[in-house]
Every structure is written in structure tokens, then in C-alpha cells.
Amino acid sequence: MRYLKWKLSHDVWGTYPVEAIGALGGRAEPSGCLDDNGYRIAYLYEDADISQLDPVWDTTEVTEAEALTFAQLIDPDIEVLSNGKLDNPAHQPIMPT
């Protein structure tokens, strides 16, 4: 699993570069891990050159450990599940994607 961290466009919930990544040949899915600064962790399934994305998204690739640290600041009980996704196995998803 590859992880991305991106900023929501104009700080609006639900705005993200999924379609733009798709246009580059990749496939991304946002996680429910969203911080108060408008940054979200996402999963990258197919490779894409994210350097081609509009800088408004402030998109970077992060390691699993960095993604987990980010998520645990939101919910300390979040774990990396066997499928590579971040979630708190004792609760419902922290936010719908």
C-alpha cells in the first residue's frame, strides 16, 4: 500500500485530487483521517506521477509509519489493518470516505 497526504482544496471537506490522480493513470482513495488543518491521508493503488498535480492540493507521498502517526493524532487507537488501511478496529470508521 502506498500512502499520500494532501490538503483539501480551499479547506472544503470532500474536495480532493482523486479525479486528477485518475487522469494521470493512478487510482487513489481518501481515508477518513482528516486533521484540523485540512490535510488527509489517502491510499494510492496504482502509480501516478503526483508531481504533475496542481500545487493547490499540496500532495506528498508518505510512509506507512508517517501515515499511522498522522492518523493516531486524530484517534490514538487507529491501526494499520491487514489490507493496509488505517482504522480503529473497535469503532465505526472515523469518517466516511
- Residue 27 to residue 86: CA distance in whole angstroms: 17
Given a cut of 70, whether residue 97 has pLDDT beyond it is no
Find, among 34, 36, 47, 25, the residue nearest to 6 by Cα.
34
pLDDT at 87: 92
* Residue-by-residue DSSP string for 30-92: EEEEE-TTSEEEEEEEE---GGGS-GGG--EEE-HHHHHHHHHHH-TT-EE-TTS-EE-TTSS
Q: How confident is the model at residue 62 (pLDDT cuts 50, 70, 90)?
A: very high
Task: Tell me the pTM.
Answer: 0.84
Kindly state the percentage of the chain with pLDDT values over 70.
Answer: 87
